[in-house]
Structure 1
Amino acid sequence: MTGGPPGGQKSPIVYSVVIPVYKNEGSLPTVVERLGEMQGRLDGPLEAVFVVDGSPDNSLAILRQLLPEASIRSQLIAHSRNFGSFPAIKAGFAAARGDYVAAMAADLQEPIELIEEFFGCLASGEWDVAVGTREAREDPLVSRTLSRTYWSSYRRLVQPDMPAGGVDIFATTRAVARKLVSLDESHSSLVGLLFWLGYRRIEIPYSRQERVHGKSAWSMRKKVNYLLDSVFSFTSMPITVILALGLTGSLLSVVAAFWVFVSWLVGSVPVQGYTALMLVLLFSTGGVLFAIGVLGTYVWRTYENTKNRPSSVVMSTEVFHDDDA
């Protein structure tokens, strides 16, 4: 860029990149360097918003060393504990000041050039949301298989329009970012909320790179919890299944009762066996307890949302290379 506002004032921020940080100390120097390189290719000022989500390593200290020396404007937000990647992204979106806001992981498995494509699409005025869709991934076979199974279940149970490989990286206009932040739901899916909002959305394919630094904190347990959050937050399918099973069981019970009654009339009812009776009781009790558990999950989530607790707690915020710093 050449020139600038009079009086030495800095230009308004056009682009914001939000990076949640958890156990990423090894990749942070490269992330900051890549963002500085991207700033040189953009047609407007860029800011990076790092959200350290209660990371137990030295990520916060490393960023405090790197950002004052970096060539980009930045914010460094520290959470009071680990709240999860989605609350961290949401906190970053709330703090972002750019006209276009992107979310990317700090592990560099998504090419940073994809962010530039997002910004180009949004700046054209034709799109409000840009998401990255995986064409290929260089992860181990087990990880690829589990991820494929997970996202297949997600599309079938929750959102049919979700890309086959899921969404890990996306960008929105400022207006959409504000709408997304305003949806204050506990135990929900940020990507699910993004798709629920609608707007004009473009999907850009990319190849996911092999992880170089550290291990992913996105464990199978977290994926299962995320799937459950998505199912219970965006679909009534579990209740529909229980209703269908209940109706089917009721119809079968009526048929069985009629058959037993007719058999009793003609005197052909044999003595009932203990094993068969116990199996029926155990099956029925298990089904009832399962149904109560599903309904209880919906009730618990409703109760959680009435508490109005914030999705995360910001412990500190630092601003670098900014007029207000």
Structure 2
Amino acid sequence: MLTLVIPVYRNEGSLSDLISVIDQLNDQLQQNLEVVFVVDGSPDNCYEILRKDLPTRKFRSQLILLSRNFGSFMAIRTGFQFGNGDRFAVMAADLQEPPELINEMNTILMSQEVDVVVGVREGRDDPLLSRLASKAFWGLYRRYVVPEIPLGGVDMFACNKPFRDTLLTLEERHSSLIAQIFWLGFRRTTVQYKRQKRQHGKSAWTLRKKINYMMDSVFAFTDLPIRLLIRVGAAGSILAFLFGLIVVWAKLHGEITVPGYAVTILMITLLGSLNLMGLGIVGSYAWRTYENTKNRPLAIPMRVEQYGGLA
């Protein structure tokens, strides 16, 4: 059975179309579908609408109401915890991702030796500025943080139960679910799709949420900012030393006549660079402490097989 997890937040306008799409998907899967709706503290009437509508539907369903808005990643994790299927998939309630992709990913999980299928956007019907910002973010993230992440980012994925179980062991609050998927490894494949234009309502993915997501995605998976501090501090110290030689030479040759100028400039440049490098070094130790507190497994056995010896 496939468990489809759908986080719901401010999606009141799209619920009717969403339910119709799920009815079709349930027929395609021959009623072998369970849908877990996780209402993520939505301020509209999503919960009331689903609570009234779901009992009349043929597909199996669960309706979970979170006490407040915890974010889509926490809602997905909650859906995974309550799901009863052998395979799991995630779909947004706004229907911007093609629903037929769920059936395709489910078929791949059943027919191929893979543990997770990732939907990769090959195009998107979004405003120009949104497309440019997304391309820049995922390009930098791919280059400096998680090289395996596709250039267009990831919004949909499906996985088998062993992958789901392992993913749920990573109990991190300020993190990125997408980056966790790639950090775990396992056997992975991708499917291409084009993101569709939003038909209902307005996106709840505000600028503040995007910035918070960017910070969580970076700080939870790389010490790059700390390493930049060390490198900038070291480079600044070298430049300060060279600049100091120039200032001393100028002072000895009478080019600098202002009293105390040479010492002041040398101290400012040198101490500023040493401060940056010192912060970077302290940050490196703090990063290692932070890594240990996350309690991520040191290694993940994907398969364990035992064989009896030949007589």
Higher RCO, 1 vs 2 (CA within 8 Å, ≥6 residues apart) = 1
How much does 1:250 deviate? 1.5
Structure 2 residue 162 is the aligned partner of structure 1 residue 179: no
Structure 1: gaps of 5 or more residues: 1-13, 309-325
Q: Give the match's secondary structure for 2:168.
A: helix
Per-residue deviation, 1:135: 1.5
Structure 2 runs not aligned, ≥5 long: 296-311
Q: Which amino acid aligns with 1:20?
A: P
Task: Tell me what 1:311 maps to.
Answer: none
**In 2: Cα distance, 1:108 partner to 1:277 partner:** 62
- Match runs of 1:74-223 below 5 Å: 74-223=61-210
* 119-128 vs 191-200, greater mean Cα deviation: 119-128
The two structures have a TM-score, normalised by structure 1, of 0.80
Size of the aligned set, in residue pairs, is 295
Please report how far the alpha carbon of residue 91 of structure 1 lies from its aligned counterpart in structure 2 after TM superposition: 0.6
Contact 1:49/1:76, CA 8 A, preserved across alignment: yes
Q: Which residue in the other structure is 1:49 paired with?
A: 36
**Partners of 2:259 and 2:52 in 1: CA distance:** 78
Q: Show CA shifts across 1:169-220 (max 9, x none).
A: 0011011011111101121000000000011111100111110011111122
Match of residue 303 from structure 2: none
Distance 1:306 1:244, change over 3 A: closer
CA contact (8 A) 1:158 1:235 kept: yes
Q: Report the CA distance between 1:141 and its aligned residue.
A: 2.0
Q: CA deviation at 1:242?
A: 0.7
Deviations 1:246-280 (A, max 9, x none): 11112122223334444445555432697x96899
Instruction: Call closer, same or farther: CA 1:65–1:288 in 2, change over 3 Å.
Output: farther
What's the counterpart of residue 317 of structure 1? none
Q: CA RMSD in A?
A: 3.3
Which residue of structure 1 aligns with residue 4 of structure 2? 17
Cα deviations across residues 19-68 of structure 1 (Å, max 9, x unaligned)? Answer: 00000011112212211111111156210000000000000001101110
Distance 1:304 1:245, change over 3 A: closer
User: One-letter code of the match for 1:38?
Assistant: L
- Under a length normalisation based on structure 2, what TM-score does the superposition of the two structures give? 0.84
3-state SS of 1:80 partner: coil
The Cα of 1:156 is off from its aligned counterpart by 2.4
Structure-2 change in CA distance of 1:292 and 1:51 (3 Å): farther
Counterpart Cα distance in 1 of 2:265 and 2:123: 51
Distance 2:66 2:291 in 1: 21
Change (3 A) 1:29 1:287: farther
* Residues 185, 305 of structure 1: 8 Å contact kept: no
AA of the residue aligned to 1:53? D
